[in-house]
Amino acid sequence: ADPIPTPPHLSLSSLLQDIRNTVGNIPMEWYQDFPHIGYDLEGKRIYKPIRNKDELDKFLEKMENPDYWRTVQDKMTGADIKLTDEQVDLVHRLQKGQFGDVHFNPYEPAIDFFTHEVMIHPVTNRPADKRSFIPSLIEKEKVSKLVHAIKMGWIKPRKPKEDTPTYYDLWAHEDPNSILGRHKMHVPAPKMKLPGHEESYNPPPEYLLSEEEKLAWEQQEPAERRLNFVPQQYRCLRAVPAYPRFIQERFERCLDLYLCPRQRKMRVNVDPEDLIPKLPKPRDLQPFPTTQALVYRGHSSLVRCISVSPSGQWLASGSDDGTVRFWEVCTARCMKTLPVGGVVKSIAWNPNPTVCLVAVCVEQSVLLVNPCLGDKLLYGATDQVLESYVPPEEERVQPVQWVTATSEEHGRGIRLTVQHSKALKQVTWHGKGDYFATVVADNSNMQVLIHQTSKRWSQNPFRKSKGMVQCVLFHPIRPYFFVATQRYVRVYNLLKQELTKKLMANCKWVSSMAIHPAGDNVICGSYDSKLAWFDLDLSTRPYQLLRHHRKALRSVAFHKHYPLFASGSDDGTVIVCHGMVYNDLLQNPLLVPVKVLKGHALTLDLGVLDVAFHPTQPWVFSSGADGTVRLYT
Amino acid sequence: SLRRRLCILKGIYPHEPKHKKKVNKGSTAARTFYLLKDIKFLLHEPIVNKFREYKIFVRKLRKAYGKSEWGTAERLKDNKPTYKLDHIVKERYPTFVDALRDLDDALSMCFLFSTFPRTGKCHVQTIQLCRRLAVEFLNFVIASRSLRKVFLSIKGIYYQAEVLGQPITWITPYAFSHDHPTDVDYRVMATFTEFYTTLLGFVNFRLYHSLNLHYPPKIDGQAEVELKPAEGKEYAMDSESYLEKLSALSASLARVVAPTQEDDVEMDEFPVEGETAEQMDARKKEQEALEKHKKLFEGLRFFLNREVPREPLAFVIRCFGGQVSWDKSLCIGATYDVSDPSITHQIVDRPRVEQQVVGRYYLQPQWVFDSVNARLCLPVADYFPGVLLPPHLSPFVTEQEGDYIPPEKLKLLAMQRGEDPGEESEEEEEEEEDDDSDKDEEEEDESEKEEEIKLKKMEEQKTQSNKALPVKVTAGKVRLEDKQRLEQEQQSEEKRLAIMMMKKREKYLYKKIMFGKKRKIREANKLAAKRKAHDTAVKEEKKKAKKARRA
């Protein structure tokens, strides 16, 4: 009645059919891919059951076999074994944590080996040893050694350790000398920001985020959020949960304290109104143009250039539609239309009031036109002067050709044609009205030419090219000549034939230039929307850079008598500024913007192309890409 | 690392160099820069040697463990090198006020560490020490009655006390177990805590002595008798129960010299130079208000139900002179029972209270906090159990002109001024609120409009005096308006032109300031609009409910 079955190898019968596996205690998965599962005692392979059971077989067996629950697979042989009742019982007991043996009683009464009751007889009757009565010599030796060591101070009794820190009045003697230089330099850490209403557990309803705000909050980077939490409302204090990021926030504060660079920043505590400079009121700086008075319509394409006659009665405008129109200023009436058969790049009225002559740049030639407007005596005299030309005896080599107009051209008003080899950019008169300069769109030393009308001859003042010339100007009084390249303005003395000054414009690309009638101040407009005011006496750098326009400046102009200058830009506005120059050399010029004039419509991303002042009145003309010329008074 | 710990303990922080590119050898990559002087200063610190000794000790100990030499390990442990941070505290804060100024972080950290579980994250001793120091500080605040503001936020509870004229703010988490995050370096926090506990200990010592109290604190003899657990049962070991009794916050502390009546001599008042009588009056008034605030709950007896957070409430109530008790089974230190008839307020945080006792108010805990912040005992009607609570406002916000002020705050301000809005009917109130929000919206235009109206009136007067016929006056009016507008336009244009002439740097600054201002206005308007929408929604809801009831 041994409940534990005899191990199979002990019984003889089982020995015969012993198919014990000899592979040992190894993971049986290693034999997964082999047909056998190990080796028996004789070294022969033990094969796996031939047919592997698939899921369906397993299921069927589960359903049909009543003993399925007590069938286990022997991993070592691969065979199915049906557990006997005893074995099942054993498994159950082990599962419950009981002993495997049914008959084992773990709670048998304990029998003391020596009972707690004192017996009358001793267990052993051996008499006590003598050594138990005599003090031990070895121990004595040890103790005496220790005693000696203590006496000599080699061993010290262990001091009781203090666990809790002791505190005392650390600041009992606050001495001001202990405040080192370090403390003066020390930047105390800023305190944590105090919480606002939105952090409350029960905030006013307006502080709660709406759905879309919440979504936006979630999509923001954690560093960008204005609040590092979502405001929430709880009905009572009991419902408030723990804040999950509490420890992180303390930790971040710690990191800030020891890793953030500290810097004293002066908080700017200024009234923004104080920042606005106190300028004289525009009202006190009158007169200046304030309103649009007249519109000169007629051109069908953008009007590139305008020029006012020295008397102020006439206005000439050149356009991309290939015509030059002459207008009466006061009535906006087009007096004359002169087709020239090409884009008019530049136009300039002769500044000499006794001469009635207009220089027009068309493609490769300059046309000198007598518009035959105004005083008959005047324009008759001009014609006479031009016709009185006597060609010199010996022909000089000239860079250009002077051609007298044909009779048909003469009828239209054209008197002379100066033919260049390349396309022209600009023409400008000298103050006396005899000389004029032209700029050729070229990169050689032939860019700038100076012509004399009365003698009909031209010369090239420069031997070397210094870059693309944008525009040129004659000084109104002295024999100076201004040449603006992309970034510099060079001032040449025409008499001495030398470079006197080089002005740094501090901008990328100069577009236009104008000179103050007194001749000591120059303004330059540039394509990077800056206007530079140079004081020639002061320095070669701009006295002031004005960034009033939002887009590239196209042209700038000074008024002849009034302290005004204007600039026209691609943003469609003309800004009129008051630019007072004092005779006292110590006083710097006063620049005040006085009016922003609007009116031109933007076409092709271009706004105002040219501005010009009336010679006597505080009026300004502007020509725009919308094909109109406007007068502001 | 050693350097990191030294930097934390000595309070060395990086600096932002003036020329970042120059210092960084031309590169603009983000790097932290310390002053050379600071690092040299660290080297002179004697504690560096202690740290090195400690490193050696750890190495030796590891070796002993590796060799299983238990005796050696034991001996080594006995001789574990220790160090003190006293001199660093003194060096960093040469005066006591300096230390008080920097107490915010120390307190918050100690309160956080004292709530940590006793396992894992850091040493048990540290946690116990933090708890002790925190409780001592709370007891000091109670004894000195220096608490000023309390705020229940979603992050935790903020407290602000005023000690020696310095505002000290700290935050405590709500009493829940922490979900310890993985992205936090506890070693850094432990180093900070090490320093903070030292600092807080010394500060506590000094504070207790300034009030003539024993340090370490002793519970008043009389109170101690009351606190003795009844039936002679040992509650816990004496050393343990001491801290618990202290943290119950219900007993007052023993003084070194027993207080006598003579101590309360009125201070002589010396007029500060250059102070006008008005200023002095204002100061006096403020002083009186402060005294009144300190005695806010004097004579009131509170009882805390078991569902309300005991510690913060007991602390706040005791800070303002109230008496407080709780259920005996909740915590040690309960002084009276629920059934005590002298209880005036019972703090309850459940929707309904069965068996109400007559003669006491049943209130939600927010009443206590709101009353403290409002500096007066608020009307109790809004805070009954189960009632929808009024919003809890932050006491730390002082609205400047142009800021958005929630209507509740306006009401509160009116109440503080002594006006009584209490008996207004609801409709009126709502109307008022509407008006307020309208005001906010029109704020921008208002000043301009006012000026306009003034000018108009002046002009009218002029014209009337000039001309006798009234007909012509009306005819002129139309033109006058135009003039007005023209003038305004002109002025604005002048301003625009002047702005054009500003220097680049100033213009940038100006634009920034204006942008900030505009944003502020926009935000205020948004809040006002939101409030308005909410109020109308609530109103409609009410109407519907009424209709439903009728039907």
Residue A238 touches chain B, beta carbons under 8 Å? yes
**For helices B470-500 and B426-466, angle between their N-to-C axes, nearest 10 degrees:** 100
Residues 272-291 of A with CB under 8 A from B: 272, 275-277, 279, 281-283
Indicate which CATH number applies to the domain containing A598: 2.130.10.10
Say which residue, A511 or A177, is predicted with more confidence. Answer: A511
Same domain, B132 and B37: no
Q: Which residue of A has its CA nearest to B92?
A: A183
- pLDDT at residue number B354: 80
For an interface test with B, the pick among A170, A270, A547 (most B C-beta atoms closer than 10 Å) comes out as A170
* Assigned domain for B426 exists: no
A251/B89 CB distance under 8 A:
no
Report the alpha-carbon distance of residue A108 to residue A97 in Å, rounded.
18
Q: Could you list the pLDDT tens digit for every one of the 551 residues in chain B?
A: 788 888 899 888 888 888 877 887 877 777 888 888 888 888 888 899 999 999 999 999 999 999 999 988 988 888 888 888 888 998 888 888 889 988 999 999 999 999 988 877 788 888 988 998 999 999 999 888 899 999 999 999 999 999 988 999 999 999 888 888 888 888 899 999 999 999 999 999 999 888 888 888 887 765 555 555 444 445 555 556 777 777 777 777 777 665 544 444 455 555 555 667 778 888 888 888 888 888 888 888 899 888 889 889 999 998 888 888 888 888 777 888 888 888 888 988 888 888 888 888 888 999 999 999 888 888 888 888 888 888 998 888 888 777 888 888 888 888 888 765 544 444 444 444 444 444 444 444 455 555 556 666 665 555 454 444 444 444 555 555 677 888 888 888 888 877 777 788 888 888 888 898 899 899 889 888 988 998 899 999 989 988 888 77
DSSP state of A479: S
Chain A hits for B154, Cβ within 8 Å:
199-201, 229, 231-232, 234, 240, 243
Q: Tell me which of B24, B47, B79 is where a domain ends.
A: B79
Number of Cβ within a 10 Å radius of residue B433: 18
* Assigned domain for A291 exists: yes
- In order, the DSSP letters of B489-539 are HHHHHHHHHHHHTS-HHHHHHHHHHHHHHHHHHHHHHHHHHHHHHHHHHHH
Report the alpha-carbon distance of residue B279 to residue B274 in Å, rounded.
10
Residue A266 touches chain B, beta carbons under 8 Å? no
Which one of B33, B202, B493 has the shortest CB-CB distance to A167?
B202
Residue A133 touches chain B, beta carbons under 8 Å? no
Number of folded domains in chain B?
A: 4
Tokens encoding B422? 């209490």
CA B225 from chain center: how many Å?
Answer: 35
- pLDDT at residue number B449: 57
Residue B8 touches chain A, beta carbons under 8 Å? yes
- pLDDT at residue number B256: 67
B14/A260 CB distance under 8 A:
yes
> Parallel, antiparallel, or unpaired: how do β-strands A344-349 and A498-504 relate?
unpaired
pLDDT tens digits along A320-355: 888 888 888 888 888 888 888 888 888 888 888 888
Number of folded domains in chain A?
A: 2
Burial class (CB in 10 A: 0-12, 13-18, 19+), B398: exposed
B391/A194 CB distance under 8 A:
no
A243/B392 CB distance under 8 A:
no
Which one of B205, B504, B509 has the shortest CB-CB distance to A167?
B205
- pLDDT at residue number B259: 52
> What does each C-alpha distance from B219 to B129, B206, B222, B237 come to in angstroms?
19, 18, 8, 16
Q: A430-438: long-range contacts (C-beta < 8 A, 24 or more apart)?
A: A430/A351, A430/A474, A431/A351, A431/A474, A431/A476, A431/A477, A432/A351, A432/A352, A433/A350, A433/A351, A433/A352, A433/A354, A433/A355, A433/A357, A434/A352, A435/A474, A436/A348, A436/A359, A436/A366, A437/A472, A437/A474, A437/A481, A438/A361, A438/A366
**CB neighbour list of residue A488: distance below 8 Å, 6 or more residues apart:** A466, A467, A502, A503, A504, A505
A231/B154 CB distance under 8 A:
yes
Residue B489 touches chain A, beta carbons under 8 Å? no
Which one of A243, A251, A595 has the shortest CB-CB distance to B156?
A243
Say which residue, A356 or B482, is predicted with more confidence. Answer: A356
Same domain, B376 and B403: no
- Please name every residue paired with B228 in a beta bridge, in sequence order, or none if there are none: none
Phi-psi sector, B156: left (phi>0), alpha (psi -120 to 50), beta: left
Residue B202 touches chain A, beta carbons under 8 Å? yes
Same domain, B200 and B146: yes
For an interface test with B, the pick among A171, A238, A575 (most B C-beta atoms closer than 10 Å) comes out as A171
Residue A547 touches chain B, beta carbons under 8 Å? yes
pLDDT tens digits along A549-568: 888 888 888 888 888 888 88
Residue reference for tokens 């603006």:
A484
Which one of B32, B156, B506 has the shortest CB-CB distance to A246?
B156
- pLDDT at residue number B452: 59
* Assigned domain for A434 exists: yes
* Assigned domain for A145 exists: no
Residue A223 touches chain B, beta carbons under 8 Å? no
**CB neighbour list of residue A134: distance below 8 Å, 6 or more residues apart:** none
Residue A196 touches chain B, beta carbons under 8 Å? yes
Same domain, B362 and B401: no
Which one of B86, B104, B176 has the shortest CB-CB distance to A242?
B176
Q: Which residue of A has its CA nearest to B103?
A: A191
* Assigned domain for A75 exists: no
Residue reference for tokens 């300039």:
A348
Residue B7 touches chain A, beta carbons under 8 Å? yes
Residue B102 touches chain A, beta carbons under 8 Å? yes
Same domain, B519 and B406: yes
Segments forming the whole domain that contains residue B525: 397-415+510-550
For an interface test with A, the pick among B155, B215, B441 (most A C-beta atoms closer than 10 Å) comes out as B155
Question: In this prediction, what percent of chain A has a pLDDT beyond 70?
Answer: 95
- pLDDT at residue number B195: 93
Same domain, B93 and B188: yes
Closest CA to A490 of A502, A507, A478, A504: A502
* Assigned domain for B482 exists: no
pLDDT band at A367; cut points 50, 70, 90:
confident
Burial class (CB in 10 A: 0-12, 13-18, 19+), A39: middle
- In order, the DSSP letters of B45-79 are -THHHHHHHHHHHHHHHHHHHHTT-HHHHHHHHHT
ipTM score for this prediction: 0.82
* Assigned domain for B256 exists: no
- Please name every residue paired with A481 in a beta bridge, in sequence order, or none if there are none: A474, A492
pLDDT tens digits along A525-540: 888 888 888 888 778 8
Chain A hits for B192, Cβ within 8 Å:
254, 257
The 3 state secondary structure assigned to B413-440 is: HHHHHCCCCCCCCHHHHHHHHHHHHHHH
* Assigned domain for B326 exists: yes
* Assigned domain for A539 exists: yes
Residue B163 touches chain A, beta carbons under 8 Å? no
Report the alpha-carbon distance of residue B220 to residue A391 in Å, rounded.
128
Which one of A167, A199, A261 has the shortest CB-CB distance to B394?
A199
A174/B206 CB distance under 8 A:
no
Which one of B104, B125, B407 has the shortest CB-CB distance to A191?
B104
Q: Tell me which of A66, A87, A104 is where a domain ends.
A: A66
Size of interface A-B (CB pairs under 8 A): 258
B509/A270 CB distance under 8 A:
yes
Residue reference for tokens 């200046």:
A288
pLDDT tens digits along A10-20: 444 444 445 57
Q: Which residue of B has its CA nearest to A272?
A: B510
- pLDDT at residue number B437: 42
pTM for this prediction: 0.66
B502/A202 CB distance under 8 A:
no
Same domain, B200 and B93: yes
Residue B278 touches chain A, beta carbons under 8 Å? no
Chain B hits for A588, Cβ within 8 Å:
none
Residues 408-427 of A with CB under 8 A from B: none
B95/A174 CB distance under 8 A:
yes
Report the alpha-carbon distance of residue A358 to residue A378 in Å, rounded.
14
* Assigned domain for B441 exists: no
> What does each C-alpha distance from A240 to A227, A559, B128, B137, B153 come to in angstroms?
19, 76, 27, 26, 9
Segments forming the whole domain that contains residue A56: 13-66
pLDDT tens digits along A145-163: 999 999 999 888 777 776 6
Residues 440-499 of A with CB under 8 A from B: none
Q: Could you give the maximum distance between any two Cα atoms of chain A, in Å?
A: 171
* Assigned domain for A78 exists: no
Q: How many residues belong to chain B? A: 551
> What does each C-alpha distance from A442 to A343, A361, A438, A461, A527 come to in angstroms?
18, 15, 12, 15, 20
Q: How close A236 comes to chain B (CA, Å)? A: 7
Q: What is the mean pLDDT of residues A456-474?
A: 82
pLDDT band at A2; cut points 50, 70, 90:
very low
Same domain, B39 and B151: no
Tokens encoding A475? 């000084």
Residue A43, CB-side half-sphere exposure with 13 Å CA sphere: 0
Q: What is the mean pLDDT of residues A240-252?
A: 91
Question: Does residue A570 register a pLDDT over 50?
Answer: yes
**CB neighbour list of residue B42: distance below 8 Å, 6 or more residues apart:** B3, B6, B7, B10, B12, B48
Tokens encoding B120? 């894992």
- In order, the DSSP letters of A134-179 are SPPHHHHHHHHHHHHHHHHTSS-PPPPPP-SPP---TTTT--GGG-
**CB neighbour list of residue B144: distance below 8 Å, 6 or more residues apart:** B163, B207, B211
Residue A173, CB-side half-sphere exposure with 13 Å CA sphere: 2
Q: Which residue of A has its CA nearest to B397?
A: A196
Q: How close B64 comes to chain A (CA, Å)? A: 21
Chain A hits for B130, Cβ within 8 Å:
none
Find the helix or strand (DSSP H, E) in which B465 lies: helix B426-466
Residue B129 touches chain A, beta carbons under 8 Å? yes
Helix then strand then coil, % of chain B, to nearest 5: 60, 5, 35
* Assigned domain for A28 exists: yes
A251/B78 CB distance under 8 A:
no
Residue reference for tokens 């209507």:
B407
The 3 state secondary structure assigned to A208-244 is: CCCHHHHHHHHHCCCCCCCCCCCCCCCCCHHHCCCCC
Chain A hits for B534, Cβ within 8 Å:
205-206
The one-letter code for the residue type at A330 is: C
* Assigned domain for A60 exists: yes
